[in-house]
Structure 1
Amino acid sequence: MEVLGSKDELVLALPPSLTVVVAVTRSKSSKYAVKWALDKFHLEGKVLFKLLHVRPRITTVPTPLGNYLISQVRDDVAAAYKNEVQWKTTAMLLPYKKMFTERKVVVEVLVIEADDVVEAISREVSKYENSKLVIGAAPGSRLLPIWKCPVACWSRLGRKLKSKGISSRISDHTPSFCTVYVIKNGKLSSVRRSKLETDGSINNESSDAETSASSCSSYNFSSQTDGTDHGSDSSYSHYHCPSLQLHGTHDLSIINQGSLTSKSVSTDICHSRSESSFSNNPDGQSARSSISSVRNVETDICTWDSGKAYSDASTVSSSESKIDINFELEKLRIELRHARGMYAVAQNETINASRQLTGLSKRQTEDALKLEEIRLREEQARELARKEREKHEAAKREAEFLRECAEIEASQRKEAEYRAARDAKEKQNFEKALKSPNEPYKRFTWEEIVSATSSFSDDLKIGMGAYGTVYKCTLNYVTAAVKVLHLKENPSTKEFQQELDIMSKIRHPHLLLLLGACPEQSCLVYEYMENGSLEERLLQNNSTLSIPWFERYRIAWEIASALVFLHNSKPRPIVHRDLKPANILLDQNLVSKIGDVGLSTLLPSIPSVNSSQPPIYKDSGPIGTLCYIDPEYQRSGLISPKSDVYAFGMVILQLLTAKPALALPHKVETALEDGQFMEILDCKAGSWPIKETNELVVLGLRCAEMKQSDRPDLNAEVLPVLEKLKQIANKASHSPPSAQPAPPNHFICPLLKEVMEDPYVAADGYTYDRKSIEVWLKENDKSPMTSLPLPDKNLIPNYSLLSAIMEWKSKKP
């Protein structure tokens, strides 16, 4: 500490602030370096700690396919990798920051990206004038311990050591004004002192030597005055303050006694001053040491004064001895006044140091508050960035989902357009095939049919009945069904010609269309129906296509309209005689058409004069399928249009129940009487409307009455009812179902009891809607499901569940 000014004004020069930089890495030695720096410097007054970490520059990004330059990857991938590196760095520095926090020491963390660690540390340390650098020794380094190297020759010895470790290279490249400490296993391994410390030590030694020399020359002058050599005396050599000047220079010539005693006292005082003058400790220790020294000097002077006076009064009698004693006493009094002045200086220094310490503590507290505020703002900014990133990801996923939906819709629309174009083309081909200048049907050769069916391959067989086998084929670029009849008689028999004549002349939307024939081989070519027969869709359990109830209403009306057309044909009505689900075919749109109209149909006679009675024809040969044959026809042999009404009633009951025809009317009647009608309905058809379905089942039972007279008229009674049911079916087919299927349980939020919009996983492992769980966590610290305390309030988005919910919503009708 340097004293400035005169005896009336003393100004203290405060020491500059100290910056301690601790360079850390992932190695264990960095932990020892931080602990050593805290133990060494955190109690030395105004100290600013900086935690320095140098990491390599990010130039490449690792991927499963190898490392790629950061300019070669997408921006989001590069940003994600940088965030990961930043997170790892923060996690690595967290234990070191915790060591400072536990000691209640404020520390500034510096993370530098550089390829050269030594250059980066040197450049950072050069920013602070009064600084010290603490580093951990690298494993395997062999630096000379400090206790084996004298301080005076350390700088020369440090230059001679050539270590290849990074700690040695850092010491060599660090600026000379910075002291470098190398810590190994928690102990000081080596130190490279700064130039300021080295020069200060040399200057202090030379200053002491010069002071001693000046003291000797001063007292050589006093010895020559009286011609006596008393040796060198350094009592006044260190004092240049005007308050220490003697009262008269002529008194120096009579000093001949007590020089040795005064020398010892002066030396003690000078030693006390030198301790106070050259101390650099800013916490007031120099002041306390100066006060202690001054008090010791006062005690010594008083003791010496009384003892000396008593001895001289008893032994010295001459006047010269008295003058010499008085001079010595005056000199001691002057030194005592100077010591008291030094005591006052020490007190002022203590007060100033205390004030500065209070100011520094206040500034430190303010800086800590500002740092905490900055940290909170940083956390808020990170949270805001996280939420924005999540919103961006959700919007991106939603856009991707909408794009996929648009692609699916476009694909479906394209497929529908393709089907419409194909249907239009097939219709044109049908019309071309039906146009014949000489005959009402197109003739095909046997060779064409054999070639189209691949010689009647079993792979192309689509049906087989009592009258023939049906094959799928392509004739004149038209997909068709070829029916090869098994006739033992001549192909030109009455039955074959009858079917050929009837089917080639009549046209109805719900009658199977005849495209052509090969009369020579008894082959009939019909249009191809993609969905097969009604029997396959109703009675086969392996059927993948279930028919909704409103489609079944429509099919019943289509069959009835086709039967009415046959029964009212001119010049003579036609009775089908073999109506059953196996002869009702469905196209790709589930439109029904009746097949086998001609072969199993017997034309009745001309109606009688009384037109109110239906035409009746007597036939002794049984034609048809058991369970669908009119019971009255079986008993009397009389056949009429009411015979088809009975078979139609059986078809209606099968449309409702999807059960075999054997004893079906009895089962349905029993269910109606027992109040279990809804239980026998086909559940695959969906939710049947009770009122309309009950009306249809009653109509089916009326049609299936045993007597023809009890059966309703097809045109006057049956068709109007089916017309009304068809209109209800059309409305149901174009409107969404009234009851939506319930969502899966894991789609429901436990708090809202509704389908989640933005599912998030909480710390208890359960998934909640984000808004609801955030409101819950603001007021509660426990799980809403288990009522146990939550370890944290972090929320993680459940992307897989969100994707499943969005897919479920897209499939809702």
Structure 2
Amino acid sequence: MTDTAETIYVAVGKAVEESKHTLLWALQNLCPTKVCILHVHQPASLFNSSRMSFTASRLHQQEIGKKILDRIMNDYLLICGQKSVEAAKLNIEMDDAEKGIVELIRDQNIKKLVMGAAADKHFSEGMTDLKSEKAQYVELHAPPFCKIWFICGGQLVHRRSLVENGQSNLSSSASSSSYWTGSNKVASSSDPSVSGTLGESPDWLEFNEGSGDDKVFENLEQALFIAEKSNQEAFEELDRRLKAEKDALNAVVRQANEMKSSYIGELRRRKEIEATLRKQNEELEQVTQQRDQAREIARTHELLLKSRSAKSDHVKILEAKLSSAMEQLQICQRERDDLRTKLESTCNSIEDHSTKQEEGSSNVHMQQFFSEFSVAEIHDATEDFDPSFKIAEGAYGSIYRCALRHTEVAIKVLHQNSLQGPLEFQKEVDILSKLRHPNLVTLIGVCPEIWALINEYLPNGSLGDRLSARDNTPPLSWQTRIHIATEICSALIFLHSSKPQRIVHGNLKPGNILLDTNFGCKLSDFGVCHVLSSLVNSNNMTDISRKFPYLDPQFLNTRTLTPSSDIYSFGIILLQLITGRPPLSIIEDVQHAVNGKRLNDLLDPSAGDCSYVEAEQLTRLALRCCDTNRSRRPDLVSEVYKVLELIRNTIGPLSTVHAGSEELRQPPDSFFCPISKEIMMDPHVAADGFTYELRQIRRWLDGGHNTSPCTNIPLAHRNLIPNHALRSAILRVVEAASPPLTLFLIPGTYLISFLLFFPIGHVVLFFLCSILQVGTFMSLLV
């Protein structure tokens, strides 16, 4: 090659389908005026034969080798010709391909080279490392004057720029390398259809004496024919797929047109029905007029009967007419009632049709509030799933605690062979991404490639850990248990009242009830199908009860889960909160204790003092929830939640010091605005499901932002809903912390923080310094 300054060299292999992506990238992104296709062949060992002479074998080998090489290289030249780029080919034989490439760079003074970084199957998003040992060798040993682009899957993975005044660390090439002509000269050709300047046949195509014959040549010809046929079949398959995609697109268009035609036809039918109704109303008015006329006639006939009592025959005729008129009136009334019934039925069908269309449209456009994370981000955050990050493991998978995008999260990674499969994973994603409730775990993002759910991290573990005193955690107080039960009931009511379809948790148990910093509970793990699939072929009631003690026993008969199934599971959890016992046989034990008036013997002493009347009332309510007959279980809204709320209001807010813990109270994270990091006075819920101070979130929205301050996901709307529950909780804690000091509350969340979390002496000192306008308050406080 003479014009090396403008020539782009592209290193390719024998697999055209694999290497053509590298060549296409060079043609599309570097826009060269001239391209040279570079190929290094690794020779294979040949067998000896004594039937033919050395000369005849060599002639056969040269002819066969040229055809194979020409066919491969001409495929690459054909690609260049289709792009209207001048192309040539350069071939060398060497035991090591990477050393051959480096030797060609040095001998041909190659300035620009494009080659593969790894096989396409190793390509991944964000890939920057060289996976191929050949690419790594060339990167390390190529002369510094050569600029190299490394490509994988048609994407630029790595680029080595020119090194000024650098020295190549490449040693002399191995003695086993040889060029086509056998005299250390490179054979090249700029003709895209032939390689006539190759000179003598390369050594890698030479057979040993007597190794080639007509049968070998025929086999190679047949192999070439099969390869051409495979290429043709591949093109035909691609054409069939394009046609199939086109047909699918046309089918979608036709379906849309059919839906449009159906909608237009429905409007037309509705107009026709309305016209028919108007006509029927007119007929009804006419019938009414006829009825009035008939009544007038009847009255006239009565007068005639009184005045003409002597004319009995005429009176009979009038009576007959009156009877006929009354019958006609009754017929008209029946027709009117039938018309009204048809009218109501038609209106109901129209409303049902409109409702279905609106539901379909809302389902299509429903926005999901979560992010998608790459596999690389998950691996970086967990340091390739280091065991030190693992906080839990079960049959479904493992849970890791880490920081993603500066946010502390819990990553739930499902095992590929776990009970919970892709359908269950997608179902849990759909539920968590479309629902927002203070007592449902918040889904931050997903990684579909490895079946990973990224949820908010809740530091106090699960309710199951607390009930079993795992890792010597302090027990929950009676006050805390009542609040947890009330919040679980609130979350279930929210799920069961979802529109357009009610949601059944189906897997409610203490291990799936997580606790935040302030011991507020949040439900998780909505993938229920793994439970169902494991019970399909099971008929042993005892084994199922032991393996799934929280599962509704009616499910074994009906094979369906209903909201009443969650009520049964909630009843078992409520009994555990009261007694602290494991779920197995807890219903029978508690029932015997209640019947024998020995409930005091079963109450959990670690919960502290509690009202026996309240405990007995909750126990009887929990036993009703666990009734084997679904129809006898209580309603969550009108019965269960009403009782729990009454008891919660009676015992008051959560105590300032948690049962079994000696730490002073800290402000709950939910009290602070995510934007200002201050305690909220007027909390409002935004479209992303998070609660903000009203003044701060309005300032955020008025500043031109249309994304969530916490997740950076676009907001579906700008509506703000007051969070009365959180505001009441803040006020309750303020009143419980120091009732006399609430008289001094003024706007400003820092002042409330002082009132809540500093000793009374410091608070009084703060007010004195504020009145005297002394700037030494902080020094005095220290």
Global fold match (TM > 0.5): no
* Structure 2 length-normalised TM: 0.35
Q: Which has the higher contact order (CA 8 A, sep 6+)?
A: 2
Rg (Cα) greater in structure: 1
